[in-house]
Structure 1
Amino acid sequence: MCCALAAMLGAFVHVAVTGQTVGNAREKALAKLEDVTRLYEAGDRLPPDAGIDLAGLPGSLRDLALQGKRGTMVAEDDGQPVMWAAGPADSGQVVAVGVDYAQGARTIEGLDRAIAVSSVLAIGTTLLIGAFGVTRVTRRLHQTATVARRISAGDLDARVEDPRTKDPGRAQDEVATVAGALDTMAASLQGKLESEQRFTADVAHELRTPLTGLHAAAELLPPGRPAEMVRERVQTMRTLTEDLLEISRLDSRREQVDLDTHALGPLVERTAQASGTDTEVVVVRDVRVETDRRRLERVLGNLIANAHKHGRAPVLVTVDGPVVSVRDHGDGYPDYLVEHGPQRFRTEGGAKGHGLGLTIAVGQARVLGAQLDFANAPEGGAVARLTLPYEEA
């Protein structure tokens, strides 16, 4: 808008000054034409810059005079701008005068040059100031958007910390308002999640002691079906408690990895054998990866157990470089799980379980720096694909 305004003002000044300059020269030329016409009619001698049918007179102006009209026109004569004025004379002749227009042309040219220079300076200054102002705003908006993405990815410690939100004496613009609202939202969300995590961890921790005693008491029951049912329920509760404690540790994002180099194929084969299930392992391409063996076995064990529990045989584990795929031939994952990932205590289709196994697998994969994706095979069955960090030697 500033550039357009500068251009419009320049054009307005150019038109106004040019019109005034040309108008003054035209009036001067017409006044001189009247004087020359009177001299011609009186038979007196004409001045040097006037005459009958002058050679330099433009043809269009000559035709206008032959029609009995008077007119003016700017044209060059011997390379110099001249304001011509012409009118009718006797016997089909034209009386004409020429007024030097060089000064007027120089005035307009100088004005145009001044307008161009001042417009360029004004536009350049406006662009610099505008770029500086816009860059400051967009940089702050970009920072706010980056922090929002970090929060959505799970980094609840991320904050914009705009200086304007901390100093009440400074002007609060819209960006500062948004940044302050985002920081407040993140702090509130972090507080609520940490409170829930502490509650879950405390409950799970407090349950361990009575469950240990209950497990010991169940072992003292006389053999029989009732005793087996009690032991099964106690073991289920102990497993659930341990899973909740592990999820609480993963949610805290303070887990440390114990890295070492391992051959991926044999490690996957040992994990499949340790699961006690009929799981086929195919090693397409074996690699050595730097990972935490215990956590990786936990991820793979949960994926294999989930495939056997909620899918159908055969269950196939494929190792292709740093990618490990676990596939069953059941009904596949629910749509919500494929789109948003596993959610604790959510199951569909009458499936038994608490949804904690896959949640733990995702959390442990994140600690390993790996990517765990869930999909359904086109020909049927669920496919979990674990991609481990790997660098070619």
Structure 2
Amino acid sequence: MPFAHARLPGLSLRWKIAALTALAAVTVAVAVGVLVHHRTYARVQDERRVDARNALENCLVAPPGSARCEDVETDPPDLPRQLREEALHSDGIVTAYDGRLGPAGDGPWMWAARSAGGEVRATKAVMNPDYRAQKSLDKNMVATSLAVLLVVIPLSAFAAGLLVRRLRRVSTTAARLSAGTLDARTGPVRGRDEVSTIAATVDTMADTLTRRIETERRFTADVAHELRTPVGGLMAAADLLPAGKTEDLLRRRIRDLRDLVEDLLEISRLDSGNEHAQRHRVPLTAVVAETVARTALPTTLTTTDDTAFVETDPRRLERIITNLVVNAHRHGHRPVEVHVERHTVTIRDHGPGYPDHILTEGPQRFRTGATERGTGHGLGLTIALAQAHVIDADLTFTNADTGGARATLRLPVRAR
């Protein structure tokens, strides 16, 4: 609704509908009032024109001194000049509306005039009673319109509220679905209109989406489980090879494949929604320092508070920090910096920064984005974000103003 958006920016949909309904009612009332006013006044003028014409015609055919000529005058001084000229140059009776008001407020009039021997005989029909009746009718119509508005606005607001309440149910369901609650459904909605159709469509879409995600999750889990055994066999076979460059290269490739399988299994578990945090009260700086040291990668750690404690799952926190640090080294440039401040951990590199799709849509599995950030499977950040969700932490991805990717992990002080 462009009009409602432009004119009523601060109102909810309910009051926009009520306002537009009231506007429509006012428009109809004004249109009807104007139409009735003009039609009524035109009818009154026609009637008085006929009255004045008949009075003059009766006088013209009556004998001198007849009572039918009481209201007919010869060259009356208040006869409009234009009507006098028209009568002198016409062979018949001419009429004209005179909207002037007399000293006693005895106007307006409807004149009828005709020339007779170089003089003008004329009469007028008084329209003052009609004028007052017209004003009274206009006032009554205004009062009636206001009374109708007093009824229409609450009724339209009530009816719009029923519609908005049903729409809000659908909106809530869609918001829950977008937040990852795949079992959210609107359920049956009253009526058989567009709102019920939208609600049914959203529920159907949610069912379809849930089935597809479940199918994908099962496929990922099945593939990972099936690959686990042959990968283990490959590792055992690599141990039988003689030491050398070929053995080292093969072992590294098998190790990468094993890590990929383990990542797929972890994503499958996270997608199932059955993961729960095992919370403990731990010193944040100590956990981060130990995790960074375990990566064996050259990383600078700074902190402004060594005494901050958080209630979280330390294993999942370590997994998040490890993935972010490894990602910064693999896809960014040194130095890689980790900074701990109260309950916030920031990991930053000095490379080309995150690609646009991560900044706008978040990390996606098997999508690594910009080639200048290197190659990979796109699973590290995906797992970190999912694990952050499990421990009720907030993980955001931005690019620093001076260059480089920056991941910020905000941990809750207490478990939610």
Q: In structure 2, what is the equivalent of residue 329 of structure 1? A: 350
Counterparts of 1:71-86 in structure 2 under 5 Å?
71-72=95-96, 73-77=98-102, 78-81=104-107, 83-85=109-111
Structure 1 counterpart of 2:396, from 361, 373, 385:
373
Task: Using the TM superposition, give the Cα deviation of residue 321 of structure 1 relative to its aligned residue in structure 2, in angstroms.
Answer: 4.5
Q: Secondary structure at the match of 1:374?
A: strand
Task: Using the TM superposition, give the Cα deviation of residue 186 of structure 1 relative to its aligned residue in structure 2, in angstroms.
Answer: 1.5
The answer to whether 1:14 aligns with 2:37 is: yes
| Partner Cα distance (2:178, 2:293) in 1 | 38
Q: In structure 1, what is the equivalent of residue 46 of structure 2? A: 23
The answer to whether 1:42 aligns with 2:55 is: no
Task: Using the TM superposition, give the Cα deviation of residue 20 of structure 1 relative to its aligned residue in structure 2, in angstroms.
Answer: 1.5
Structure 2 counterpart of 1:189, from 209, 219, 233:
209
Q: Do the aligned partners of 1:147 and 1:160 also contact (CA within 8 Å) in 2?
A: yes
Q: In structure 1, what is the equivalent of residue 407 of structure 2? A: 384
| Partner Cα distance (1:254, 1:133) in 2 | 43
Q: In structure 1, what is the equivalent of residue 377 of structure 2? A: 354
Q: Secondary structure at the match of 2:260?
A: helix
Range with greater deviation from structure 2 (223-232 or 368-377) = 223-232
Range with greater deviation from structure 2 (223-232 or 24-33) = 223-232
CA gap of 1:279–1:28, structure 2 versus 1, over 3 A, is same
Q: Do the aligned partners of 2:108 and 2:126 also contact (CA within 8 Å) in 1?
A: yes
Task: Using the TM superposition, give the Cα deviation of residue 95 of structure 1 relative to its aligned residue in structure 2, in angstroms.
Answer: 5.2
Aligned length: 380
Structure 1 counterpart of 2:262, from 242, 246, 255:
242
Structure 2 counterpart of 1:254, from 274, 277, 293:
274
- Alpha-carbon RMSD across the aligned residues, in angstroms, is 4.1
Q: In structure 1, what is the equivalent of residue 186 of structure 2? A: 160
| Partner Cα distance (1:249, 1:11) in 2 | 72
Read off the aligned partner of 1:150 and give its amino acid letter.
R
- The percent of aligned pairs where both chains have the same amino acid is 39
Q: In structure 1, what is the equivalent of residue 14 of structure 2? A: none
Counterparts of 1:130-145 in structure 2 under 5 Å?
134-145=160-171
After TM superposition, the score normalised by the length of structure 1 is: 0.76
Q: In structure 2, what is the equivalent of residue 167 of structure 1? A: none
Task: Using the TM superposition, give the Cα deviation of residue 76 of structure 1 relative to its aligned residue in structure 2, in angstroms.
Answer: 3.6
Q: Secondary structure at the match of 1:163?
A: coil
Q: In structure 1, what is the equivalent of residue 322 of structure 2? A: 301
Q: Do the aligned partners of 1:218 and 1:227 also contact (CA within 8 Å) in 2?
A: no
Q: In structure 2, what is the equivalent of residue 179 of structure 1? A: 199
Q: Do the aligned partners of 1:75 and 1:84 also contact (CA within 8 Å) in 2?
A: no
CA gap of 1:157–1:90, structure 2 versus 1, over 3 A, is same
Q: Secondary structure at the match of 1:318?
A: strand
Task: Using the TM superposition, give the Cα deviation of residue 360 of structure 1 relative to its aligned residue in structure 2, in angstroms.
Answer: 1.0
The answer to whether 1:109 aligns with 2:144 is: no
Task: Using the TM superposition, give the Cα deviation of residue 85 of structure 1 relative to its aligned residue in structure 2, in angstroms.
Answer: 2.9
Structure 2 counterpart of 1:312, from 296, 312, 333:
333
Read off the aligned partner of 2:176 and give its amino acid letter.
R
Task: Using the TM superposition, give the Cα deviation of residue 19 of structure 1 relative to its aligned residue in structure 2, in angstroms.
Answer: 1.5
Q: In structure 2, what is the equivalent of residue 199 of structure 1? A: 219
Range with greater deviation from structure 2 (77-86 or 227-236) = 227-236
| Partner Cα distance (1:290, 1:47) in 2 | 110
Q: Do the aligned partners of 2:48 and 2:110 also contact (CA within 8 Å) in 1?
A: no
Q: In structure 1, what is the equivalent of residue 291 of structure 2? A: 271
| Partner Cα distance (1:357, 1:95) in 2 | 107
| Partner Cα distance (1:235, 1:67) in 2 | 113
Task: Using the TM superposition, give the Cα deviation of residue 94 of structure 1 relative to its aligned residue in structure 2, in angstroms.
Answer: 6.3
Deviation per residue, 1:30-55 (Å, 9 max, x gap): 3334455677x936789775656667
| Partner Cα distance (2:297, 2:350) in 1 | 15
| Partner Cα distance (1:264, 1:53) in 2 | 110
Q: Do the aligned partners of 1:261 and 1:290 also contact (CA within 8 Å) in 2?
A: yes
Range with greater deviation from structure 2 (347-356 or 312-321) = 347-356
The answer to whether 1:65 aligns with 2:100 is: no
After TM superposition, the score normalised by the length of structure 2 is: 0.73
Q: Secondary structure at the match of 1:313?
A: coil
Read off the aligned partner of 1:156 and give its amino acid letter.
L
Counterparts of 1:220-231 in structure 2 under 5 Å?
221=240, 224-225=243-244
Range with greater deviation from structure 2 (117-126 or 195-204) = 117-126
